[in-house]
Every structure is written in C-alpha cells, then in structure tokens.
Structure 1
Amino acid sequence: MKKTLVILMLIFVFHGLFYETRAGLNTLLFSLGLTVALAWLKPHYLRRPKVRWVLGGWLLSAVAVVTHHSLLSELVYWGCFVVSWGYVLEQASRFWVFGLLESGLSFFTNWWYSLSQLSWFRERGNKPRLAKAWQQVRLVVIPTLLLIPFYLLYYQANTGFQVLGQWLSSWLRPLFQFDLQPTAIVHFLLGGMFITAALSSRPGVGFFRQLERQWYYKLRRQRGPLSRTTPINGLRTEYRIAMRSFSALNALLLLINGIDLATVWFHTQNRTAAQLSQYVHEGTWLLILSILLAIGVVVVFLRGNLNFYPASRPLRYLIYLWLVQNAFLGLSVGVRNWHYIQAYQLAHGRIVVFFFLALCWYGLYTVYRKVEGPLTTYFLLQYNGWALGVALLLSSSVNWDSFITSYNLRHGSADYYYLQSGLKNNLSPILQHWYIQDTKERARWSTEAIARRCRFAVRNYEAFDWRSWNWSDYRQYKLAKAWLEALEATKKPPRSGVETEAEPLTN
C-alpha cells in the first residue's frame, strides 16, 4: 500500500512539474524525489556500487540542465535515466545494452505487472493470481480505458463538448492542477507509465540473464574435438595470415605517419580556408574511421584460440606496434585540428573532434588490455560503452556556446556574425564583452541583432514559471533586460556596464 501511494503521488508530481513547460529546475526536483522514493521503498537496491554510480551520474546531468540548459544536457539527462533505471530494475544486469533494453521493456510492461501485484489483486487460495486480478481490474480499468479514446475523439469533433471540457478543466485545475485537455491526459498517462516503470518490480528477461552468465571478461580457451572440415594446421595458418596482415598494415601506417610527421608536425603549409577545411573535416573523420577499423581488425584476428597459440609473441608485438602507430595517427589528427582552430578559431565540430579522439585513444588502450589479457569482446563493449557515457556526461557539464564565444573573443579576430547568429546560448558573454569594447570594436557587432536577441531572451524567460528556471536563462534575462533599458534610455548602451550585473560570468 505504501508503494502504491508513493507511485500515485509521484505521478501527480511528474505531471505538475513537466506539463506545458520546459526542462529546468523541475528536472532536478523530479530526480531528487524519485531517488529518495527509491531509497525509501527499496534501500537494498542502492547497495550495488554500479547503481549508486549511475544514479549519481543522472543527478549530475540534472544539475547540468539547471545550470546550462542546453539541448545536449537534456538529451544526456534522459539518456542517463534510461541506463540507470535499467540497472535499478534488473539487479543482475551487468551489460549496459541490456540496461537500455530493460528500461524500454519496463516502460511498456511494468504498469500491468504492478496492477497484478497490488494487495487487493492477490488471491488467498490456490487460484491463479492473474485470474483474480482480472476480476477486480475489469470493473474499473476496462471502462476507463474505453472512455479515454472516445473522450478524446468527441473533444476534437464536437465544439460544444470542447467548451464543456474546458469548463471542467478550469474548475478542476485549482484543485488538482490538472487539465482535461487531450494533451494533458496523454501526458498524465505517459507520466503514470514512466513512474510505474521506474519504481515497480518485475522479473528480468531470462534470455538476457542466460546470455550474461555465458559472458566473461577473461577469455577462455575453447577445447573440443576437431570437426571433419577443420584442418589440422588451421590455427597455424590463421597465425601466418595475421602475421602477414599486420606486417603489411604496419608498413603502410608507418608511411602515413612519416608523411604526417613531415607535413603536420614540422612543416605546416599555408593553406586557404577551403583547403584547410577539407584538410581537417574530410581527412580527420576518415582517419578516425581508420582507427576504429584498426580496432576491429585486432578484435577479429584475436577473437578465439589464436590468443593461446604458443608462438604468438611476435604477433603480439606487431599488434602493439599497430596500436601505438594508430595512437600517433590520432595525435596527428589532433594537431591538424589545433592548426584549424588557430587559423579559424573554435567551433562545435572542432570540439567534437577532440572528444572523438579521446574515445579512440581509450579504445586503443582497451584493445591493448584485451590482447595482453587476453580478454573478450564483451570487455571491450562494456568498458568503451561506459567511457562513452562518461564523455557525454562531461560534455553536458559545459555551456559550449558561451565557452566558444569567450574563447573566440579573447583570441584573435572573431567571426561576429557566427557568434551572434550561429550560436544560441551565448548572450551573457556577448553582453559582457560589449561593455569592455571601445566604439570601434562595438561597430563590428549588429546592435539590431543583439537587441532582437535580448528581447527574445526577456520574452522567453517571462513566458515560463519557476518550474523551468535555470541559471543560464536567468543570467541572460537579467543582462538582456538591463541592456535594453540602457538602450532605450540613451539609444546606446553605456560603456561602463550595469551597476548590479557587471560581475564576471561563468556562463
């Protein structure tokens, strides 16, 4: 009964926090409430270190939403929720992919399973529990489920019924903060499925458990009788193929790295903007793809008993050399990207390149550990999946629009059109920089464009209530409002800035 009341209360809280508003403070409040409810109802779940880690990451992503309010932070927030609650729901799960699948299945099945587990559904005798549950559910749930789609259809088809529904909504809203509009009903039902999936208990998928029982980090030698189609010297032949393949690949990559060493590291050529763009954009992503393919080649060759071949040490040295050369190739890609930033300053794509390179280097390191172990492909998927999650969580903790704007304004000649039109969440550093510029530098900005963005920031902030409050929008609202007031009073903003809003910003 306690669990049922908590679920019902959180459903109404979810609807009140998220209906007809955007993400902001409501995400952090909801995350804290759901975590506290989990700790109260199922404290044993939090004994698993992995569950504590993923829930901690989810709460940090909620803090990022409140602080920066970027699209990336919102996507990471809901992605962290799906992964973390997959581990919460299925305690035996170790693989993050199965955590994702468990979350998806729970969203569609946990509401019914929870209904069947309510105390007043349970059968005291030897009769099937589900049969007794059906006798109780059909008296209330079936009529309600039939009523909802017809209500939605009649609401859209009959204007008089719309007026009645709106009148009922206006009467019920002050009491329950609930709306009988079709979108409100759908939102409430989805919230019910959402909360039920998060807090209810359901047996995990047996197929996933059976698979995970067969997967280990440590690679095991496969022993058994040879089939008629297996040649006696098959492992030796595979070893010779691998030796020749990695020898040729190392020679080719040594040539590529030698060219990069001469042209990228020690002799930088003066290129036009178009040449440098092609040099970085196309070449960079192709080289990153080659690193990923290199990882795949190692995994394919060392997938089985070749790891235990007695004379495989020379092959391991060739693979280590191949991994080191790929790591150096990634370093050359980073130098290319850095040359591009020095010439044409910072942009989102150039930051993404560094994140991809970091993931590639970590992937090469995990491949080294796999060869040294030897370890399984499951180890690679598990550790690289977690690395991707950590990288996304770290990237969502920064307001990249403001970071790019501040960096470009401090280093060289900035692209003012890109800063004021191509980026959205960077009004604070633009207005801060305005106050410290002289008249000649201010002329490079479009005052009309800045004023348009300031008016939009003020309207956008005032259109929402406290539920969508976030530090980024609040700070931009205060600065934009002061800037517009100064513009209205003097027809141009003052040089000294606003008395109460001129302190440095981190946003």
Structure 2
Amino acid sequence: MKKLALFIAALLFSTFFYDQSIGLNLFLFSILTVAILFINNQTHFKNRKTQIYSAAYLITGLTIFFHSSTLSVIANLVAFFTLIGHLSETKSSIYINWLNGLYTTIAGLFHRNFAITESKHIEKENVQKPPIDYLHWAKITIIPAVILITFIALYKEGNPVFSNIIEQIDFGFINFQWILMAGLGYYLFHNIYAPIEVEPATEIDLKTENSLQKTNAFSIPKLKQENQLGVILISLLNALIVLYLITDVAFLTSDLDLRASVFSAQVHSGINALIGSIVIAIMILLYVFRGNLNFYEQNITLKRLAYTWIILNILLVISIAFKNSQYIYYFGLTYKRIGVLVYLILATIGLVSTLLKISSLKNNWYLFRVNTQAAFIILVASSTVNWDYHITNYNFNYAQSMDFNYLYNLSNNNTILLNEQLASKTLDYNSEQKIKDKYNKYVYQLRTNNWQELQYDNFKLNYK
C-alpha cells in the first residue's frame, strides 16, 4: 500500500511540474503531500498543532493559485518544512521543525536505510535476513537483454519484412525527462513519508526548558553590583528616550508642508537608526536579566525601570509607525514601507515577550521560541495578501504622489487593475501604452496556460 501510494504520488508529481510554471499545481502538490503524510502518520494528525500546520501549508498553496508571488512561494516552502519537521517530533520548537523538515526532505531515504544505530545491530543479531544475490539479478536481466538485442540485429539482416517491422517500432513517445522528474518525485515522497529527527539538536531542544534556574554562582555582593549598574544604565536610557520622544512629538506636530518636504530624507535616515536602537534595547535587557540577577530580592527597582523602558520603546514603535504612515500618505505604498510595518509588529512582539521573560523568570530560549513562532505566523498571514494589487490600488486612489514606473515594474498580480485604470483617462500616452503592452502579454500568458499552471486570473478573464 505504501509503495503504491508513493508510486502514484511520483507520477502525479511529474504530471504537476514537468515543463510547467507555478500555479494550480503547487496547491495540488500541497494536498498530495498532506495525503501522503497522513497515510503514514495518522496518529499525529489527531494532534491539534499538526492540524494547524497542515491548514497553514494548504492555505499557502491555495494563496499561490490566487496570486503567485515570491513571498507566497517562500511561505509555502517554509510551511512544508514546518509540517514535515513537526511530524518528526510534535513537541519540538518550530526552528527545530525547520531543521528536521529540511534534513528529512534532502536525506530521509539515506538516513533510514544507511544510518547505523544500536537498535539495528540488535535486530540483525535476532533476525538474520538472507543476503540479496545481486549477481543473480544482474544475470537474469542483463544477459537475456544483450542476447535478445543481438538476435534482433541478426534477424533484421536475414529478413527484410522483419527488419521493416522492427524499424517501425518508435519509442519516441517515452519522455525520459518526464520519467526523471517522476523519479525525483518518488525520491522526495520516499524521504518525507516518515519524517526523521536530527540528533542531538532535537533531544537538546526537548530537554531545554523555558524557565530560568538559579545557578551555583549566586553571590549577593556581585549581584548587588550588577543591580546598581543596571539601575544607573537603564535610568539614563529611560531619561534619554523620554527626551527623544518629546522632541519627536514636537517634530510630528510641526508645519505639515515643511514635514512633507523633508519626510523622505528624515524617514530614510531616521527609521533605520530607530530600528537599530530597539534591537539594541532588547539585547541590553537580555544581558542584564541573563541569570541570577532575576532571583536577587532587591531587584524590584531595576525591574520597574526595565518595564518602563520597554513601554517607552513601544511608544517609539508607535512613533515610527506614524512617521511611516505619513510617508505612505505622501509618497504611496512600496514593499519597503510595508516591510517597516512588518518589522514594527515583530519588534512589538519582541518587546512584549521580553517584558514577559523578565516578569515570569523565563530564559532566552523562551524568547527565541516565541518570536520564531510569531515570525512564522506573520509570514503565512502576509503571504495571503496580494500586495501588488493593494499597493497599486492605494497609490492610484489615495497617495498624494505616485511613482508609475514602480507600479508598472511590479509582478503581473496588478496587471488587470492597471488595465482598469485606463478608463480614468488620468495617465499620459506613454503610461497607457506600457499598461496595454503589459496587459496583452499577461492575457496571452493566461490563455496559453496548461491546466497545471491555471491561476485565479484565468477565471476572471473568462468572465470578462
């Protein structure tokens, strides 16, 4: 049953992807992958987390059908490794899932067949399997084939009718590249049907808890000194960030026309520096609260100062978000400006998780686990959005100024929307010609798509 399922999956894999571009086929492959994994790991699929990861993987595959983009393909690939790695050990962290998933995909077959473990030695001692006679198999396949070909060649010379029949046999219908693709599919599915763990990484992860533990180096005099240093340092940083926020409010409430003229330079130079300051802030807090200082009874003032600094940094995030939103209002949406907003969401999660780490006596592994999980969720969620469409729609309808060439150079996900803008008669002749040229090429591409390459725009086009 297993081998039959893998063989069918390999044929479907080649059917989906041989000489085809990405479209419906990747979603069908996602369904096929989940089916193969379910056949051999049914008990794991009763786990709620497994069901969530499976749903996330299928959603990313469906997303590619609606709007194929680099982000959605990356999200689908990451979700693929996450699901496979999770099935290897359902209790491991998500970054270990990625490691196990990648290793299983590349080397699962070799690991299962050639990895020597103590248990295998015991099994070999108890059950002696008869050795495979490779020489015998070679004899019964190669020798008859060579002799048969030899006699065919001889008979062709002796009988013109027989020679004509042999020459009429055409093996051109056999596509060896298609077969090779099917072989690759069989290798892939044979790797992943029974996911494996990477040791000792998985074992170390399972043994590593999230909570901090007091060490034998606990020393009140040393901790008192560290506490004093932390209080002074974070007090000064609190005062500095308060001063910065006051000046920032003054800048944001200044004359709008002046702000519009300087936003570009100010935002580009300022946001990167502020992003760096938030990262450094988190690193400082992780260093200060790295160990026994968390258990020092007189660290209440230090903790309060740390909480205050985290809250002030969140206010700094809000300030950056406001500047970025104003920048978007004046100059339109771009991927870089969206990327700033995504970073600010991640930074806020990092700050909040740092606060929870300090208040709940968690270690740095807790932070790493929480934030990698958050990053995965944001990646999957963001991949479901057709950003090219929304960037184009916003810039045409709401932005104070618009870079048409930027919109034109985006992927085909905004082509139909660009074509609809021709009716507005607000574009110059050159811009209109560019849109028509892009639209005609895209329509031709859609109409020549095979069923494996179908996209949602194929169906939109048919209804127009």
Query: Normalised by the shorter chain, which TM-score bucket?
Result: 0.7 to 0.9
Name the residue aligned to 1:297: 284
2:230 aligned with 1:245: no
Name the aligned partner's letter for residue 389 of structure 2.
S
Contact 1:69 1:472 in 2 (8 A): no
- Bigger relative CO (Cα 8 Å, ≥ 6 apart): 2
Larger Rg: 2
Counterpart pick for 1:110 among 108, 132, 135: 108
In the alignment, the residues of structure 1 paired with residue 345 and residue 268 of structure 2 have an alpha-carbon distance, to the nearest angstrom, of: 17
* Cα 1:128–1:186 shift into 2, 3 Å: farther
Distance 1:24 1:422 in 2: 18
Once the two structures are superposed, what CA deviation does each residue of 1:104-136 show, in whole Å capped at 9, x if it has no partner?
22123321345579xxxx999855889867766
> What TM-score do you get using the length of structure 1 for normalisation?
0.78
Letter in 2 for 1:211: I
Deviations 1:236-284 (A, max 9, x none): 11111111111111111111111111102465561566x4222112311
Q: Any unmatched runs of 5+ in structure 1? A: 145-163, 173-178, 479-499, 502-507
Q: Distance in 1 between matches of 2:360 and 2:186?
A: 47
Aligned 8 A contact 1:402 1:426 in 2: yes
Q: Which residue identity lines up with residue 459 of structure 1 in the other structure?
A: Y
Identify the residue that residue 235 of structure 1 maps to in structure 2. Answer: 223
What is the match of residue 469 of structure 1?
454
Does residue 190 in structure 1 map to residue 192 in structure 2?
no
Equivalent-residue separation in structure 2 for 1:136 and 1:263 (angstroms):
81
Compute the displacement of 1:189 (Å). Answer: 4.0
Q: Find out whether 1:45 has 2:39 as its counterpart.
A: no
Superposition pairs for residues 7-406 of structure 1, below 5 Å? 7-92=6-91, 94-114=92-112, 126-127=124-125, 168=171, 170-172=172-174, 179-181=175-177, 184=178, 187-202=181-196, 204-222=197-215, 224=216, 226=217, 233-265=221-253, 268=256, 270-271=258-259, 275-406=262-393
Task: Say if 1:417 and 1:132 are closer, same or farther in 2 by CA, change over 3 A.
Answer: same
Q: Which amino acid aligns with 1:6?
A: A
RMSD: 3.0
How far the C-alpha of 1:413 sits from its partner, in A, is: 4.9
Q: For the residues of structure 1 that align with 2:136 and 2:203, how far apart are their CA atoms?
A: 36
Shift of 1:352: 1.2
Partner of residue 155, structure 2:
none
2:103 and 2:198 in contact (8 A); partners too: no
1:169-197 deviation per Cα after TM superposition (whole angstroms, max 9, x unaligned): x322xxxxxx313xx56544432332122
- Tell whether the 8 Å contact from 1:11 to 1:195 is kept in structure 2 after alignment: yes
**Offset from partner CA, 1:348-381 (integer Å, 9 cap, x none):** 2111111111111111111111111011111111
Equivalent residue for 1:429?
A: 417
Task: Give, in angstroms, the shift of residue 100 of structure 1.
Answer: 1.3
Structure 2, unaligned stretches of length 5 or more?
Answer: 143-166
CA distance in 2, matches of 1:250, 1:33: 54
Instruction: Quote the sequence identity (%).
Output: 23
**Aligned residue identity for 1:112:** F
Note if 1:448 corresponds to 2:430. no
Q: Relative to structure 1, is the Cα distance of residues 415 and 130 closer, same or farther in structure 2, using a 3 angstrom cutoff?
A: farther
Q: Is the 8 A contact 1:246 1:322 kept in 2?
A: yes
Q: Deviations over 1:127-158 (max 9, x none)?
A: 58898677669968xx99xxxxxxxxxxxxxx
SS at match of 2:176: coil
Conserved 8 A contact 2:210-2:362: yes
Indicate if the aligned counterparts of 2:211 and 2:362 stay in contact, CA closer than 8 A.
Answer: yes
Contact 1:116/1:130, CA 8 A, preserved across alignment? no
Judge conservation of contact 1:67–1:471 (CA < 8 Å) in 2: yes
1:429-472 deviation digits (Å, cap 9, x = unpaired): 1222323x2x4x25466232122112211232234301011113
Question: Residue 173 of structure 2: SS of its match in structure 1?
Answer: helix
Q: TM-score, normalised by structure 2?
A: 0.84
Aligned length: 431
Whether the aligned pair in 2 keeps the contact of 1:25 and 1:466 (CA below 8 Å) is yes
* TM-superposition CA deviations, 1:19-60 (whole Å, max 9, x none): 111221111212112212322332101122222211111111
Equivalence for 1:420: 408
1: distance between equivalents of 2:15 and 2:72?
22
| Greater displacement, 379-388 / 38-47 | 38-47
Contact 1:246 1:318 in 2 (8 A): yes
- CA distance in structure 1 between the aligned counterparts of 2:43 and 2:415, rounded to whole angstroms: 46
